[in-house]
């Protein structure tokens, strides 16, 4: 797990996502979910989630833009356990 960059609380919230880039498959579901929710279009290139896949090394770097609202919506749809909602871990439902 990488250390989350955003230590400060945003709008009184703690950053709600645990990030495990080593589990990311680069499917980009998080990006498309984010872009349709905040920008009204299906477009990973306008997402607040950054997914940088390296096919050769089979690694992915995950990050969030400064516009990210920390809503955690993207993590709800991560099927591979790369983005996990902290509250789902506390409730025992998170992490595949």
Partner 1 sequence: MAMFGYAGQILRIDLSTGEIKKEALNPEMANKFVGGIGMSAKLLYDAVKPNTDALSPGNALIASSTPFSGTVLIGANKTDWTSKSPLSGLAQTASSGDFGTNLKWAGYDAMVITGKAEKPVYITIFDDEVRINDASHLWGKDLYEATDELWDQYGDNCTILCTGPAGEKMARISMAYTNKIASAGRKGSGAVPGSKNLKAIVAKGTKGLKAAHTKELLKKADEIYDRYQQDPLLKQWMQLGTTIAIEQYGKEGKAAWKNWRESYPVDKHLSRFGVQEFLKVREISIPCMLCPLGCKLLYNLREGEFAGLETLQSCNVGAVLGYGPKFDLVGYNQVAKCHDTANRLGLDTVEFTAALDFVMELQERGTIDEKVTDGLKLERNLDTVLTWLHKAANREGFGNVLADGYPGIFAALGQELRKDAIQRKGGSPDFDARGVFGTEIFGIAVGVTGAHANFALGPTVIGGREPAWLRRYCQRIGISEEELDRVFSDPSGFNVARLTRYVERWNFLLDIMGICSRPPLARLYNLELITELYNLVTGVDLGSAGLLSAADRGLTLLKLFDISQGATREDDYLPERWLTEPFLVAGKEVWLHDYYNTKRLTKEDIEILLDDYYEERGWDNDGVPMKKTLTELELTSL
Asked if residue 87 binds partner 1 (CB under 8 A), the reply is no
Residue 21 or 44: the one with the smaller Cβ distance to partner 1 is 44
Residue 47 or 68: the one with the smaller Cβ distance to partner 1 is 47
CA dist., res. 8 & res. 25, Å (int): 28
Q: Whole-number minimum distance, CB 22 to partner 1, in Å?
A: 10
CA dist., res. 16 & res. 88, Å (int): 10
CA dist., res. 14 & res. 96, Å (int): 22
The tokens of 42 are what?
């299906």
Binders of partner 1: how many residues, by CB under 8 A? Answer: 27
Residue 6 or 42: the one with the smaller Cβ distance to partner 1 is 42
Beta carbons of 20 and 65 less than 8 angstroms apart: no
Subset of residues 12 to 31 that bind partner 1, contact rule: CB under 8 A: 25-29
Asked if residue 77 binds partner 1 (CB under 8 A), the reply is yes
Q: For partner 1, which residue of 17, 18, 35, 62 counts as binding (CB under 8 A)?
A: 35
CA dist., res. 7 & res. 52, Å (int): 22
């Amino acid at each position: 797990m990488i250390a989350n960059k955003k230590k400060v609380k945003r709008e009184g919230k703690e950053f709600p996502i645990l990030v495990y880039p080593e589990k990311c498959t680069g499917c980009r579901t998080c990006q498309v979910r984010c872009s349709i929710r905040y920008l009204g279009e299906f477009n990973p290139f306008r997402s607040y989630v950054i997914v940088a896949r390296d096919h050769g090394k089979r690694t992915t770097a995950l990050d969030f833009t400064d516009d990210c609202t920390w809503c955690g919506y993207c993590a709800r749809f991560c099927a591979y356990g790369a983005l996990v909602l902290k509250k789902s871990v506390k409730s025992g439902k998170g992490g595949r």
